């Protein structure tokens, strides 16, 4: 699907990745963002983007946003707390996707791009390709994403939808919210510049991707992948350890704290300690990242330090 002169809906459009995608799309398209603003901010939406404020489990909200003249939907809305160990997260995320798909089918909108997660793989060999099996998520969040992928597959194969599924690495950059490791470290060191508590043993090692490159990759996949059901990993070929993130954040803040580790090989129940996705399928489609994982972490750290400084002044 060519992303030009279209009417596009972005669910979760006022959130971290969603707002960056809205910025990219609005230059050449009509864009409608749908968000309950529980994790988003209307100020992140650029001029020209229409906001439908509300909960996507409400059929009236979905009906207002997804109309027959819509060309495609980018579905970002979700409870994104990967550390949550609550079955309600599974129910909520699947209910959101179910409501969106039912409304699309009702009004004849049949293009949807969905943000899934590397967590659907569980603890898989690295680098992990898209066709790795069996998929065995170890977190409620991963299970919810896999459930949503399965429902999307049904609509692709039985309802003539075209579906693009993105299995994200860790996406970082401006507007990344508290709870993620980089803003967590920045806030901790702002409160106590002398010491930093790190969950686990610090050896957890994952791929981090710049949000601008993530958005570019998403658009490339939609415009070039033409199967009914398209699944692509989005990430980098390199990884960054939690201790290295602490080093980068400390360096950018001009600090030299002592590290204290909570112990164990993972940060929380359901955490996958080591993750690197294969991006060979994405490369074969004609797109590769310019930034390494370390580069993405450092760039995100610089932008977030500035954001938090501005926020504290306000």
Q: Cα dihedral angle (90, 96, 97, 99), rounded to 10 degrees?
A: 130
Task: Compute mean pLDDT per 10 residues along the chain, 314 residues long, and list them.
Answer: 97 97 98 95 96 94 97 94 80 95 98 97 97 96 96 98 97 93 96 96 96 98 98 98 98 97 87 95 98 98 88 49
What is the pTM assigned to this prediction?
0.95
Q: What is the pLDDT of residue 86?
A: 84
Q: What is the pLDDT of residue 130?
A: 98
Strands (E), 175-236: 195-198, 205-206, 208-210, 229-234
Under DSSP, is residue 15 helix (H, G, I), strand (E, B) or coil? coil
Distance CA 247, CA 79 (A): 30
Q: What is the pLDDT of residue 313?
A: 43
Q: How do residues 58-78 score in pLDDT, each as one tens digit?
A: 999 999 999 999 999 999 999
Q: What is the pLDDT of residue 213?
A: 98
Q: What is the pLDDT of residue 257?
A: 98
Mean pLDDT, all residues of the chain: 95
Q: What is the pLDDT of residue 286?
A: 98
DSSP assignment letter at 197? E
- Give the β-pairing of 49-53 and 30-35: parallel
What are the beta bridge partners of residue 261?
198
Strands (E), the chain: 7-11, 30-35, 49-53, 72-75, 111-117, 162-168, 170-172, 195-198, 205-206, 208-210, 229-234, 240-241, 258-261, 274-275
Residues whose CB falls within 8 Å of the CB of residue 150, separated by 6 or more in sequence, listed in order: none
Q: How do residues 75-132 score in pLDDT, each as one tens digit?
A: 999 987 766 778 999 999 999 999 999 999 999 999 999 999 999 999 999 999 999 9
Mind listing the domains of the chain with CATH numbers? 7-171+210-234 (3.40.50.720), 174-207+238-273+292-313 (3.90.25.10)
Q: What is the pLDDT of residue 202?
A: 95
């Amino acid at each position: 699907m060519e992303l030009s002169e279209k009417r596009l809906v972005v669910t979760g459009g006022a959130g971290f990745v969603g707002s960056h995608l809205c910025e990219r799309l609005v230059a050449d398209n009509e864009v409608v963002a749908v968000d309950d603003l529980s994790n988003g901010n209307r100020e992140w939406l650029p001029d020209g983007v229409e906001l439908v404020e509300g909960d996507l489990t409400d059929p009236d909200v979905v009906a207002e946003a997804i109309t027959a003249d819509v060309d495609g939907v980018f579905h970002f809305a979700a409870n994104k707390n990967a550390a949550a160990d609550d079955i309600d997260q599974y129910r909520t995320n699947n209910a959101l996707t179910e409501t969106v798909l039912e409304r699309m089918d009702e009004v004849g909108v049949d293009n949807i791009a969905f943000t899934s997660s590397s967590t659907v793989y569980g603890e898989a060999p690295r680098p992990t390709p898209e066709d790795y099996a069996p998929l065995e998520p170890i977190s409620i969040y991963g299970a919810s994403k896999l459930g949503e992928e399965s429902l999307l597959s049904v609509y692709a194969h039985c309802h003539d939808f075209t579906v693009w599924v993105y299995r994200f690495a860790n996406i970082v950059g401006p507007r990344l919210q508290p709870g993620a490791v980089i803003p967590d470290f920045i806030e901790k060191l702002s409160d106590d510049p002398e010491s930093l508590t790190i969950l686990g043993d610090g050896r957890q090692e994952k791929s981090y991707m710049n949000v601008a490159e993530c958005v570019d990759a998403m658009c490339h996949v939609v415009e070039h992948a033409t199967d009914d059901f398209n699944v692509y990993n989005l990430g980098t070929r390199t990884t960054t350890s939690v201790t290295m993130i602490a080093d980068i954040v400390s360096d950018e803040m001009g600090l030299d704290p002592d590290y204290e580790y909570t112990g164990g090989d993972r940060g929380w129940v359901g955490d996958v300690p080591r993750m690197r996705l294969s991006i060979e399928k994405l490369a074969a489609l004609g797109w590769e990242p310019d930034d390494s994982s370390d580069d993405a972490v450092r760039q995100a750290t610089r932008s977030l330090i500035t954001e938090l400084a501005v926020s504290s002044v306000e």
